[in-house]
């Protein structure tokens, strides 16, 4: 009798897990498709503003937000960010505005510089001509979005509104 109960418990556990995988769209998070980012309703504003940006045809969410040096680092960052996002969404601790983590800010900065390497090299060469306040902890001395605030998500930061009433377009 205990043998059947144990088998039944394993089958029920596997069924519950399979249902969790299916309902949460868990496997979709392994892709690079930007639509995955709107699985969480709180990311709709960010997705929509990206869709209307100049980056839409050149960079996806993962191109900017995840490390590009190795598959392992990319998956570790995805898992870490996913865990933090799911905790924040479950317990409603994110408030009306999302805040970027120090690690995510570093990744985005590195990816901006990698994609715009030619422009950045010219900026670095010219920076010696001008006095500026530099943050030695940040590559280039400033974060790219200190000047380029509206890219690629516009200036809207509140999760409950969408800039210019944009709607989600099917890619």
Give 76's pLDDT tier (boundaries 50, 70, 90): very high
Cα separations (Å) of 45 from 11, 35, 41, 50, 152?
40, 12, 9, 8, 12
Give 59's pLDDT tier (boundaries 50, 70, 90): very high
Q: What residue numbers bound the domain in which 3 lies? A: 1-30
pTM: 0.73
Same domain, 84 and 1: no
Mean pLDDT, residues 99-125: 87
| pLDDT(61) > 80 | yes
Q: How many domains does the chain have?
A: 2
Give the range with max mean pLDDT: 4-18, 39-53, 115-129, 134-148: 4-18
The answer to whether position 171 is within a domain reads no
Same domain, 89 and 161: yes
């Amino acid at each position: 009798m205990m043998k059947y109960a144990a088998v039944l418990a394993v089958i029920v556990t596997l069924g519950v897990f399979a249902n969790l995988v299916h309902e949460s769209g868990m496997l979709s998070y392994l892709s690079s498709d930007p639509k995955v980012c709107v699985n969480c309703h709180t990311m709709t504003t960010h997705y929509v503003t990206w869709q209307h940006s100049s980056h839409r045809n050149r960079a996806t969410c993962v191109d900017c937000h995840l490390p590009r040096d190795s598959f392992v680092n990319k998956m570790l960052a995805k898992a870490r960010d996913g865990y933090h996002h799911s905790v924040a969404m479950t317990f409603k601790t994110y408030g009306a505005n999302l805040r970027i983590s120090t690690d995510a800010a570093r990744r985005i900065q590195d990816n901006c510089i990698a994609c715009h390497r030619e422009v950045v090299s010219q900026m670095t060469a010219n920076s010696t001509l001008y006095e500026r306040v530099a943050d030695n902890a940040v590559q280039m001395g400033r974060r790219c979005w200190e000047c380029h605030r509206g890219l690629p998500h516009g200036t809207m930061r509140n999760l409950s509104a969408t800039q210019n009433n944009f709607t989600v377009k099917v890619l």
